[in-house]
Each structure stands twice: as structure tokens, then as C-alpha cells.
Amino acid sequence: MPCGYLMRVGVTKLTYWDKEGENIEVKGHKPDVDCRGKDAFEAVLQMPRDEGRILGFREKNEPVKGREVFAAYDPKAAADPRKAYYAKYLEPALARVEEENKLERNKVLAEAVDRKLRAKGIDGIGGKNGGETEAAAEKHGFAVDFYGRGKAPAEGLDQYEIIYGWCEPGDLKRATALKWYCCGFAGVDLLSDDGLYANPDVMLSNSSGAYGLTISEHILMVTLMLLRRMPDFQDIVRRREWVQELPMRSIYGSRITVLGAGDIGTNFARRAKALGAAHICGVSRSGRNGDPAYDRMLPQQQLDEVLPETEILVMALPAVADTAGILSRERIALLPREAIVVNVGRGSAIDQDALMEALNAGRIAGAALDVMVPEPLPKDHPLWSTRNLLLTPHISGNMSLGYTCDRNLDMFCRDLDNYAAGRPLEHRVDRKRGY
């Protein structure tokens, strides 16, 4: 009696049953165990030829999906049936289905922040060996294409279900099959508008939590440079003078306010606490944060209360409606003369004209801006020549640190697991709130 088998795409499991519907064991293989390709065919050949039996192939993770291919067992075929049957039925069927599967696999477009760019020495030293993106995608049946740093391909965006990395907002309309966009940055203010997407239901996630270490170290660096008068000493050295008497200050014993007590602000607060800061006040939208680095927590509405006693003001805010211009001219006037301001969030949070006036007049001691308006800063902009101001070109959170790359990738890979399993994304952004 002929014996048949049913094959589906993405074979990982076999189920055997006889004509009465009972599971059976074939060639030492128990039901529902791994058995692929030739092994599966060998198992079919070991079935008694006088009994009608069916071998069912179950698709990886999705038992009910996949293209079905049927090949009949013919007891009258060649004397060496294994070779003949495999060549005639199973091998061509596997090849055909595999080719179809390649064309139909869900696709991920990923910025090459792991193996490909690191191999070229673009993304710094350290970190893992790379290939994490491919490994995470492969186990869920996704095909991955990589693109160069910060520039998605001009053609073919309509092929991808997932994009990971940076994609220019103006290009997102072309991603017609997109279901999830994972931005490699923490701030996604440029990506929140529903009108940017072909499908307004696209899920947006960010990489908030990957940058706390590197940006907090940047804050420490520029804060110490200002406290220890590095802009002044640089001017002295350029004049080839030998002056040693400038008074300096320390983080030790300072009163610090962290405006934006999220991952970045809290990472800095912990480090400042370890260096002996006298008092650290966190200011957030809710006024809640249980981290022991903070001596006090306030909601944004009470910011004015703490500014007159703030010696170091650190700003790590997203660009949303209630943070625009939050450090206004009036609030800059509340700061004491010895205050320094460090902004690593968004330039829109500060009244830049008022800040420049205060710095040039000596009303505050110094400032460091990694973010500003506009970016890039025009060559004739007055910020370039402002007194006691340190400028950096939005580099505090670059993925030039191996740890930052690794953390970023780990977060994406975990959420890819969540996406494939139908679970909520850990780092999904509420586009209406902007974070």
C-alpha cells in the first residue's frame, strides 16, 4: 500500500501517525523530535510497505502555515529505492520550497552597527564579536539586509517589515510593508508624526537605556573642564603665557540639579554622588524617581524653587512640547553667578540668546552644549565665540563606544524576540507623548 508524506516549509519537527491516528515510532525516532531532509526520507523508507502511513512535517514556530508538497511512495520504483526516491521526490521538493521560502521570508533592514562596521574599524574598539543581529533574526525566520551607517538604501525599502537603526524621516513613506521601526537613538522627536509612515499603525521603539554610560561620562568630562577653568587655561596657553593662579572648583561639595531624571540623568547623578556632591536634586515630569543617588526629587512645575541654589545644572530632556524653552531667560536669571549649565538633551530646551548674554556678561560661570539649534551650527553663529562655553557637535551619545553598541544591539534583539512571540515591545514609544 502506498505511503505518503507531507512536507511544510521550515521543517524542524516530525509527527508520525498510522491510519488509526495513533502516533508511532519510526527508525528510532520518537514523535515530535527533530528530523530533517534525508533523515526524514530514510524514516519514511523504514515504514512497512503494506501499511498506509503518513509522515507529517511541522513548520518551525508556525505549525499551521507553509506551502505543502506531497510525494507518493512508489513500491515499484528502482531496486535501490532510497536513492531513487530521494532524487525523484524529496530533493527537488525541498529545493523548490526553500527557494520560495527565501522570496517570502519576512525581512529586516538593519544599520550595520555590529560585525560589518566594526570589522572596518568604524565603530570603535571593544565590544562583542558581532553578528548578533543576524543570529537573532535567523532564529525567528527573518532575513537581514544591512546598510551603511546612518543612510538607508535609496531603493527597496518597501521590502522590509522591520527597520533597525536610523532612517531619514522623509524616507519612511517608502517603507510600505513596515510594521516596526526600532530607532537606534534615544530621542525620537523627529519620528513621532503619524504622517511620516505609509502605515500610521507602525510601532516605534527607541534605544533609551543604551546611552546612560557614555553620555554621563561626557557630562562628567565637560563639567570638570568648566570647574577647573579649562577654557581660560586654553586661552592662556594660546597666548603662550604662564598663569597658574585661577581659582578652581570641584564636584565634591557641589549642589547639583539634574533636569531630566531618566537613564542619562540618573547615570550622571550616581557618578556625581560617588565623587562627593553635597546635594543632588532630580527634576522630572512626575517628580518621582526612587534612585538613591538623588537627595530630593521635584516635578517640573517646581523647578524655580531649586535653581537659585544650583551650582551645576545638567539637562537631559527629550524634545516634547513641555520641555521647549524650559530654561528660559527668566530661569537663567535665577541661577547663581557660580552656576554652570550642561545640556546633552535637545537644544530646543534652552533660550540660547539669553544663555549667550548671561555667559558673555559673566552672569553665570560657564556652559557646555552638546546640542543646539540649529544643527549643524552655521559657521557664523554667535555661539562659536561665546565666553566660557564648551561646544561639541552632538557626539556625547555616538555609538563610538563598544559598550554602547553592545547595549543597543542587546535591546533590539530582546525586542525582536518579543515581536516574534507577539509580546509587547520593551522599548516602544508612545508617539503622542514622544517618549
The rounded average pLDDT for each run of 10 residues, N- to C-terminus, in the chain (435 residues) is 33 37 42 43 44 36 31 38 51 54 69 58 43 85 82 85 92 93 90 91 94 96 97 92 94 98 96 98 90 96 97 95 94 98 97 98 97 96 96 90 86 94 93 79
Residue 398 is assigned to a structural domain of this protein:
no
Beta pairing, strands 53-59 & 279-284: unpaired
301 within a domain of the structure (yes/no): yes
Note whether residue 53 is domain-resident.
yes
Q: What is the pLDDT of residue 415?
A: 96
- Whole domain around residue 62: which residue ranges? 4-104
Q: In this structure, are 184 and 59 located in the same domain?
A: no
Residue 23 in domain: yes
User: In the prediction, which pLDDT does 88 show?
Assistant: 57
247 and 196 in a single domain? The answer is no
Q: Which CATH number belongs to the domain containing residue 243 in this structure?
A: 3.40.50.720
The answer to whether residue 428 is domain-embedded is no
Residue 236: Cβ-neighbour burial (10 angstroms; 0-12, 13-18, 19+): middle
Indicate if 79 and 172 belong to the same structural domain.
Answer: no
Answer yes or no: do 216 and 300 share one domain: yes
156 and 85 together in one domain: no
Task: Provide the 3-class DSSP secondary structure of residue 104.
Answer: helix
pLDDT score at 90: 53
- Average pLDDT of the chain? 79
Judge if 243 and 190 occupy the same domain: no
How many helices and strands in the chain, by DSSP H and E? 12, 16
Cα separation, 112 vs 24, in Å, equals: 47
Q: What pTM was estimated for this model as a whole?
A: 0.73
Distant-in-sequence, close-in-space partners of 374: CB < 8 Å, separation ≥ 6? 347
261 shares a domain with 153: no
Q: Which residues contact 369 (CB under 8 A, 6 or more apart)?
A: 343, 347, 350, 383, 389, 390, 391, 392
Q: For residue range 360-392, what is the model confidence (pLDDT) as tens digits?
A: 999 999 999 999 999 999 999 999 999 999 999
Same domain (yes/no): 237, 341: yes
Q: Are residues 98 and 156 in the same domain?
A: no
Q: Are residues 238 and 136 in the same domain?
A: no
Coil/strand/helix, residue 259: strand
User: How far apart are the C-alpha atoms of 191 and 160, rounded to whole Å?
Assistant: 18
Count of domains observed in the chain: 3
Considering the domain architecture, whether residues 283 and 135 belong to the same structural domain is answered as no
Domain finish residue from 44, 78, 104: 104
- Nearest to 334, CA basis, from 300, 307, 299: 307
The CA–CA distances, whole Å, from 386 to 29, 116, 119, 399 equal 77, 41, 40, 29
Are residues 165 and 184 in contact, defined by beta-carbon separation less than 8 angstroms?
yes
The one-character DSSP state at 280 is E
Gap between the Cα atoms of 226 and 367, Å rounded: 7
